[in-house]
Structure 1
Amino acid sequence: MSQVLDTPPRLPGTADELDPAALAARHGLSVSGERPSLPDYVRRLWARRHFITAFATAKLTAQYSQAKLGQLWQVMTPLLNAAVYYFIFGVLLGTKKGVDDFVPFLVTGVFVWTFTQSSVMAGTRAISGNLGLVRALHFPRAALPLSFCLQQLQQLLFSMAALIVILLAFGVPVGVSWLLTVPALVLQSVFNAGLAMIMARMGAKTPDIAQLMPFLLRTWMYTSGVMWSIDATLRNSDLPHWLVTVLQCNPAAVYIDLMRFALIDSYGASQLPPHVWAVSLGWALVIGVGGFIYFWKAEETYGRG
């Protein structure tokens, strides 16, 4: 006669009952701060679009609140930089030779470059500089670098009024090509946002990278044709083909070239690198989408440790 052994019932206080994972699964609980799926993350981010806009506007308003000239510094800062670059590069180093409408050429490059530079710097500190907000509230962390990029875009649009005045003062006529500034700025904004999110994740893990960025950005600026014409330099040089390709496909230079082509009548299509619109779209998609996914993959780590 065989003996049937019944499985003893689990008693409260046993290992099974005290296992956190088992308890969470039994009651349908999820890990606090767990990374959502990518589609769900996009939906949550879109639901907070008003917060992103309001946060960007508030940061922009407060940026120069302590200065007596207030928001005028949004225009004066890039103009003063352009004046310094004109004296050093245009006058002392002679980079204005062979460049038509050099002042509009230079000011356009400085304004467009400042947009990218400021977005990258703000993105680097987006998480590490706002740990109190990150730890206190639950929201998609991508809202922070995106809001900082939107802040820089608002500042650029505010400064565009001064740029238009400069263009008209130096005899640059208004043309239909000015409408091309819209797609050029859209592509650059997507690229800047993706790059800012990449730097935000890196800056969250290694805050010291913010101290290194000014040196890297300065090097990038000098190779992006902000103060000199890449096209004129390449026509009169024997640089190797790979270096020519790198200079022409440099994303900062590509977006600067597009804005100059759109705004300056003397800056013709022959001065643009080959397939410039395709290259600008490619950079926007690769860095914009890739940067967003790269940032999202570390969502649950921000603000911890």
Structure 2
Amino acid sequence: MSQPESALADAQAGGRATESLAALAERYGLSRAIARPSLHAYLRQLWERRHFIVTYATSKNVSKYSESALGQLWQVLTPLLNAAVYYLIFGVIFAQSKHIPNYPAFLITGVMVFSFTQRTVTAGAKAVSSNLSLIRALHFPRASLPLASAIQELQLLGWSMGVLVALVLITGEEITWLWLLTPVALFVQFVFNLGISLFMARIGAFVRDITQLLPFITRTWMYASGVFYMIDDRTRNLPTLLRWVLEFNPAAAYIEFMRDLLIYDRFPERWVWTTCSFWAVVALVFGFWFFWRAEERYGRG
């Protein structure tokens, strides 16, 4: 047999072997270990691992400040110290406290609510890149990691909310029935945070420099979200489109939602409910889909 004929015979034999292996795998329901499952199957896998996700988030909380003398109290002290600095700058130097009633409660509410989103976004961006050894060692839905990071920040929020409620009461506000809606406001914000965390987890997995840019991005976002000032007062003379963009800002809407309940003693307006719900649904659906699309690529390289 000539050399070309021998090569052709080997190729045909290799093709038959490949075809037989593929047929054998199909017959016994085998699939590639790294293949991306369908959305329905992916959701089912995440639900089956719900206990792992919660336990992982809890253990990360316990170990995060284990080497610090004050431990998890830093989750409360950090936003409080930030609020004190912002009060000095915006409340005293820029005299915002003269124009906004109960400015201390106004400011601390904005700082606490925005910090919840800021921390979740930052943790989500590192969720995949900081767990490469775990990803390469075990097979599990990678969305478990940004889910765990979002739940971790939700657990830590309990400390912040306790301090926020105490400070609002100290500044002279009274408890009303609207305070019962605060879990609703936090849940809607958590859904939004979860979606953004999933989105940033994929970005952070492949663009490592994003973690260096995030502090600048979130700081700009904070300045545009009405944390230190009332957006209505500052946007009156702005072009209509820019004013609409600032008011449609999800962070501003969640802050306004919480201020309405805790400070202003009024049921949130329809635009607040609509904006908060819209961003929560869009962020979760798109963020989950965006992360799932790259499921096969996490941990490679």
Q: Is the 8 A contact 1:194 1:292 kept in 2?
A: yes
| Secondary structure of 1:96 counterpart | helix
Q: Is the 8 A contact 2:25 2:31 kept in 1?
A: no
CA distance in 1, matches of 2:257, 2:279: 13
2:244 corresponds in structure 1 to 245
- Mark the CA change 1:63 to 1:274 in structure 2 (over 3 Å): closer, same or farther: same
TM-score (norm 2): 0.92
What is the identity, as a one-letter code, of the residue corresponding to 2:47?
Answer: W
Q: Is the 8 A contact 1:249 1:273 kept in 2?
A: no
2:289 corresponds in structure 1 to 293
- Number of residue pairs matched by the alignment: 290
What are the Cα deviations for residues 133-173 of structure 1, in whole angstroms up to 9, with x where unaligned? 11111111111001101111111112211111101111110
1:282 corresponds in structure 2 to 278
**Alignment of structure 1 residues 1-305 onto 2, 5 Å:** 14-19=13-18, 22-28=20-26, 29-234=30-235, 237-265=236-264, 268=266, 275-305=271-301
How far did 1:16 drift? Answer: 2.2
- Mark the CA change 1:252 to 1:195 in structure 2 (over 3 Å): closer, same or farther: same
CA distance in 1, matches of 2:70, 2:177: 35
Q: Which runs of 5+ in 1 are unaligned?
A: 1-9
Q: Is the 8 A contact 1:96 1:228 kept in 2?
A: no
Q: Is the 8 A contact 1:98 1:232 kept in 2?
A: no
What are the Cα deviations for residues 101-129 of structure 1, in whole angstroms up to 9, with x where unaligned? 11111111111101100010001111111
Q: Which runs of 5+ in 2 are unaligned?
A: 1-8
| Secondary structure of 2:97 counterpart | coil
Q: Is the 8 A contact 1:145 1:200 kept in 2?
A: yes
CA distance in 2, matches of 1:49, 1:24: 34
CA distance in 1, matches of 2:142, 2:148: 10
Residue identity over aligned pairs, in percent, reads 50
Superposed CA RMSD: 1.8
What is the identity, as a one-letter code, of the residue corresponding to 1:281?
Answer: S
CA distance in 2, matches of 1:114, 1:11: 64
CA distance in 1, matches of 2:114, 2:88: 18
Deviation beyond 4 Å, 4+ runs, structure 1: 10-13
CA distance in 2, matches of 1:299, 1:77: 35
What is the identity, as a one-letter code, of the residue corresponding to 1:194?
Answer: G
CA distance in 1, matches of 2:135, 2:220: 32
CA distance in 1, matches of 2:219, 2:131: 25
TM-score (norm 1): 0.91
Q: Is the 8 A contact 1:24 1:30 kept in 2?
A: no
What are the Cα deviations for residues 61-96 of structure 1, in whole angstroms up to 9, with x where unaligned? 111111111121121111111101101111112222
1:5 corresponds in structure 2 to none
CA distance in 1, matches of 2:20, 2:95: 73
What are the Cα deviations for residues 172-203 of structure 1, in whole angstroms up to 9, with x where unaligned? 10011111211111111111011011111011
- Mark the CA change 1:34 to 1:239 in structure 2 (over 3 Å): closer, same or farther: same
